[in-house]
């Protein structure tokens, strides 16, 4: 483990305690707050079940030691981490130019496993006041380049910066901010988002390298900054609603407020049916028998789930262009890639729908918004793709026109290409050009079955003749 990884580990520790409503700001006083938590949750040298240190105990105690060391480093004049001769994390030391040393991470393990006599606040106070106090001139060779960066950056957060960005001419395709940490992602040779091979930089260094998005880097949690086809960047706050997979990353998040009246207008049968089921269940429960309360509760829970998913669709769903390809009935074709991670799984979904008169024109491009359902077999693609016209959930024509203007030429060209290759006029979902992409490895899967799709093929056993 290098010095920057220790800093990042401490930063992760701070983020996790934020979720516990315990603020850690790298001050000496913050160690008192940690001591209070440790006293409540460590009993007889064992973490209490359900507490922060109960699971992955040693790793989290290591993180506690990283934070303790960062408190000391950030509140001192000349303290550095030294990992050179450490065979285990416990052996990592902090030191000053005059040779004074402290086993900071070792102290964290002692606090957890030996008890409150090894108080970390008292330890840090003594280190800063006496043992690691340094008042002389700092030798020019004491701090190495990583130390200098850490000292100059102060409390600036560490960014995880993908090496593939460097290898791809410095192009950042996606920027994420989650739990206090910035991730800067490039793409690999297959145009998949690269999630490995990181280097560690400080945020101000990344801003210097990429001034084009420096103004977008506000520390809002669950923030995504997406590179668009024209090279500009667009920020979006990732939706984290109930029953919504917040780890999915839509290419263009809807971020629209659901208009309940508009949605009911276009989905009247389903909305009225769910409300009628709730009403019937309630009447039967009151008039006949309390057991019908189960029907009432079931219908009510379904109605709640239905409206939450409708809200999620427009707030966090993926926006794609659709093209009206037929009238009477109205059919709209929508193109997407079903991949979850790597690979290339293009599909064309043709939906039977309703549109207002001004949109119900053959060849017209309209915006759609969709949710994706996961598959039950661990395949690298989604099982289902459910687009609906944006007009079904909003009457805001300014928003609709804004979305239409955002569609790139390449996305519209892709839609036309898929329509031409599929050449179907019936509603359904169709693989596109499956012989020349990742679908070729899953020819046995009927994507139209959705979550009921086929299981992975069993390996063929052959006996030697």
Q: Cα-atom radius of gyration of the chain, to the nearest Å?
A: 28
Q: Which DSSP symbol is given to 238? A: P
How many other β-carbons are positioned within 10 Å of the β-carbon of residue 462? Answer: 6
Q: Which has the closest alpha carbon to 259: 271, 277, 248?
A: 271
Termini Cα distance of the chain: 53
pLDDT tens sequence for the chain (465 residues): 889 999 999 999 998 998 899 999 999 999 999 999 999 999 998 999 999 999 999 999 999 999 999 999 999 999 999 999 898 989 999 999 999 999 999 999 999 999 999 999 999 999 999 999 998 999 999 999 999 999 988 878 899 888 878 877 888 888 888 878 888 887 655 555 555 678 889 988 888 888 888 788 877 877 888 887 778 888 887 787 887 776 666 778 888 999 999 999 999 999 999 999 999 999 999 999 999 999 999 999 999 999 999 999 999 999 999 999 999 999 999 999 998 867 899 999 999 999 999 999 999 999 999 999 988 898 999 999 999 999 999 999 999 999 999 888 889 999 999 999 998 879 999 999 999 999 999 999 999 999 999 999 876 554 443
Q: What share of the chain is helix, strand, coil (3-state, %, to 5)?
A: 40, 20, 40
Token pair of 166, please?
A: 């460097």
**Residue 26 vs residues 41, 128, 409: alpha-carbon distances, Å:** 21, 13, 49
Instruction: Give pTM, 2 decimals.
Output: 0.70
| Residues 262, 27: Cα–Cα separation, whole Å | 52
The edge-to-edge listing of strands for the beta sheet with 233-237 is 198-202, 158-162, 181-185, 174-178, 223-227, 233-237
393 by Cβ neighbours in 10 Å (0-12 / 13-18 / 19+) ranks as buried
């Amino acid at each position: 483990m290098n010095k920057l990884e220790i800093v990042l580990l401490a930063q992760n520790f701070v983020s996790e305690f934020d979720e516990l409503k315990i603020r850690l700001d790298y001050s000496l006083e913050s160690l008192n707050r940690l001591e209070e938590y440790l006293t409540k949750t460590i009993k007889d040298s064992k973490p209490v079940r359900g507490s922060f240190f109960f699971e992955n105990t040693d790793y989290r105690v290591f993180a506690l030691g990283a934070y303790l060391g960062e408190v000391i480093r950030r509140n001192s004049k000349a303290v550095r981490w030294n990992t050179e001769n450490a065979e285990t994390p416990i052996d990592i030391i902090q030191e000053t130019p005059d040779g004074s040393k402290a086993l900071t991470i070792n102290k964290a393990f002692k606090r957890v496993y030996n008890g409150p006599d090894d108080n970390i606040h008292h330890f840090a106070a003594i280190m800063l006041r006496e043992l690691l106090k340094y008042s002389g001139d700092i030798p020019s060779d004491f701090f190495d380049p990583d130390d200098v960066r850490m000292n100059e950056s102060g409390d600036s957060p560490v960014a995880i910066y993908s090496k593939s960005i460097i290898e791809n001419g410095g192009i950042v395709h996606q920027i994420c901010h989650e739990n206090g940490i910035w991730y800067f992602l490039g793409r690999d040779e297959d145009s998949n988002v690269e999630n490995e091979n990181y280097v560690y930089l400080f945020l101000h260094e990344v801003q210097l390298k990429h001034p084009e998005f420096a103004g977008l880097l506000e520390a809002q949690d669950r923030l995504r900054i997406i590179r668009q086809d024209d090279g500009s960047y667009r920020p979006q706050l990732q939706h984290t609603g109930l029953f919504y997979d917040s780890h999915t990353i839509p290419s263009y998040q809807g971020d629209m407020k659901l208009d309940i009246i508009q949605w009911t207008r276009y989905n009247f049968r389903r909305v009225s049916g769910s409300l009628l089921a709730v009403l019937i269940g309630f009447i039967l429960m009151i008039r006949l028998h309390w057991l019908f309360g189960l029907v009432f509760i079931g219908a009510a829970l379904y109605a709640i789930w239905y409206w939450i998913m409708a809200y999620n669709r427009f707030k966090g769903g993926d926006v794609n262009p659709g093209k009206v390809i037929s009238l009477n009935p109205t059919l709209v074709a929508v193109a997407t890639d079903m991949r979850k991670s790597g690979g290339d799984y293009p599909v064309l979904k043709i939906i039977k729908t309703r549109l207002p008169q001004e949109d119900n024109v053959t060849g017209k491009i309209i915006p759609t918004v969709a949710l994706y359902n996961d598959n039950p077999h661990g395949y690298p693609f989604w099982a289902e793709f459910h687009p609906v016209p944006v007009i079904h959930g909003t009457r805001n024509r300014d928003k609709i026109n804004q979305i239409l203007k955002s569609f790139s030429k390449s996305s519209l060209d892709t839609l036309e290409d898929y329509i031409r290759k599929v050449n179907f006029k019936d509603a359904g979902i169709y693989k596109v050009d499956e012989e020349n992409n990742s679908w070729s490895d899953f020819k046995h899967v009927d994507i139209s079955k959705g979550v009921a799709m086929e299981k992975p093929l069993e390996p063929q056993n052959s006996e030697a003749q």
